[in-house]
Amino acid sequence: MKSLAKITHLDQLTFDNRFIGELPADEEPLNTRRQVFGACYSKVLPTQVAKPHCVAYSYEVADLLDLSDEVCVSNDFTQVFAGNRLANGMESYATCYGGHQFGNWAGQLGDGRAINLGEVINQRSERWTLQLKGAGATPYSRNSDGLAVLRSSVREFLCSEAMYHLGVPTTRALSLTLTGETVVRDMFYDGNPRAELGAVVCRVAPSFTRFGSFQILTARSDTSLLKTLADYTIRTDFPELGEPSTAVYTQWFSEICRRTAEMIVHWQRVGFVHGVMNTDNMSILGLTIDYGPYGWLENYDPNWTPNTTDADIKRYRFGRQPAMAYWNLVQLANALYPLIERVEPLKAGLAVYNDTFEQGWQTMIAAKLGLTVFDETLCSELLALLPLVETDMTIFFRQIALIDSNLELAQSVDHAIEQLADAYYLPEQLTADYRERLNHWLSAYIQTLKQQAVPNEVRREAMNAVNPKYVLRNYLAQLAIDDAEQGNFAKIHELLELLRHPYHEQTDKQQFAAKRPDWARQRAGCSMLSCSS
């Protein structure tokens, strides 16, 4: 196949900016905080910054945009993706949407901290929207300044790319840029704000349209614009469904439900907790979007949430994510009802979510255990066992692949216990009763493996393809942030490279697969986080 020519200057990018070309704009030109009616977006320029410095970029995302390495290390790249210059064809804007926040309708929200630069069409005819997060105030910023700090930007940049390489549907991140300015934030909302380093992340996705993009229009009884936006979205992002019609609207909703279910299955597979599953943070493409106070399960605790705002209610805890995605889809169904005016097709779409998730979850958990067929008894008992003691989810599932099913049963169980020892945070929790129950489960599990008669090597390879060795553990991200705030970006680059190969045994990187250290158990950024940017 002939290799495609790389772009040598950002002004060579091809933009078609279909979103603003086909959808109505806010008529008010001033960038003032306000309610925006009858429009899908407001034109707004990024805020100029003093002394931008590009900390890192993803060469895979650059390749999606046909950008050469020379472009990505140029000063112009830094200036453009800090928001100081619009390349030829860029037309910057912020979008209008609403949403339910923690179960309550919040009205208009919108891109309060994000500014879109336009839609690039690459040489493979793919559409990619470029969006700066932290580039300044928009009409939707409410009481915020629209800026972002380095700590949240590092987390977003690294996690976007880590999730992609884990095989989780996600938005991407092109670049992480320091602004050369400081931003005042109250990290713990405790009345002690401090100045932090400002930063901007360039996010990339086919579309950043959210459930809330449709909700705000239905809430305002703007059915005409609701139809316009739905028709645009179907023609642009779901062209395989055909020309918009009542029947196509129902197919479209079912497809959103299917994609959302598949995304949630992946979250549960790798132990990812989003932390803020509000409807404005749900992508109609079934992509993980808006990396705020997310986290990775260290010990397997279905009740854990990384979000300090949600610490009491735990609405968005790990074990509740599937139900919350369904709840959010119900709100989207309510928003789309004026287009269909029948309940049954929408209920059918929600049933698609339930069926897709249940089938996907069974297939996923069976694959994590190397089972050729889902075994409800085995899987249910394991998920009951794991939270009883502090068990590192990532290490447990990675190590269980090492079981030798060729040994005699008793030997195989003993060998399994040896392999799993490193997954436990507090060995003193392994009481006699717990050990007996674990031994019983391991015996049943190993007998099942023996009956499958799949060679150990084949089973291990399959298990290691779905059970990552490396994830973006909260403490690893925090260590990178600590160094970056002192001007040392080496850990960011090291983690970015590590997380490009999360399923591989990287022999010189074993320290990154270790359990969370004790010092990180309660430290901010390593256990829980706030929504503060």
Tell me the catalytic residues: 280
DSSP character at residue 280: G
Q: Rg for the chain (alpha carbons), in Å?
A: 24
Question: What is the spatial distance between Cα 130 and Cα 138, in angstroms, rounded to a whole number?
Answer: 16
Report the C-alpha dihedral over residues 84, 130, 118, 134, rounded to 10 degrees. -50
Question: What is the spatial distance between Cα 446 and Cα 410, in angstroms, rounded to a whole number?
Answer: 10
CA 439 to centroid of chain Cα atoms:
36
Q: How many CB atoms lie within 10 A of CB 440?
A: 13
DSSP character at residue 489: -
DSSP character at residue 245: -
Among 174, 148, 178, smallest CA distance to 161 is for 174
What distances in angstroms separate CA 267 from CA 273, 320, 367, 482, one per listed residue? 7, 12, 15, 27
Task: Specify whether the CB–CB gap between 111 and 140 falls below 8 A.
Answer: yes
What distances in angstroms separate CA 528 from CA 112, 288, 518, 521, one per listed residue? 24, 19, 15, 10
Pair type for strands 93-95 and 53-57? unpaired
Task: Specify whether the CB–CB gap between 168 and 272 falls below 8 A.
Answer: yes
DSSP character at residue 66: T
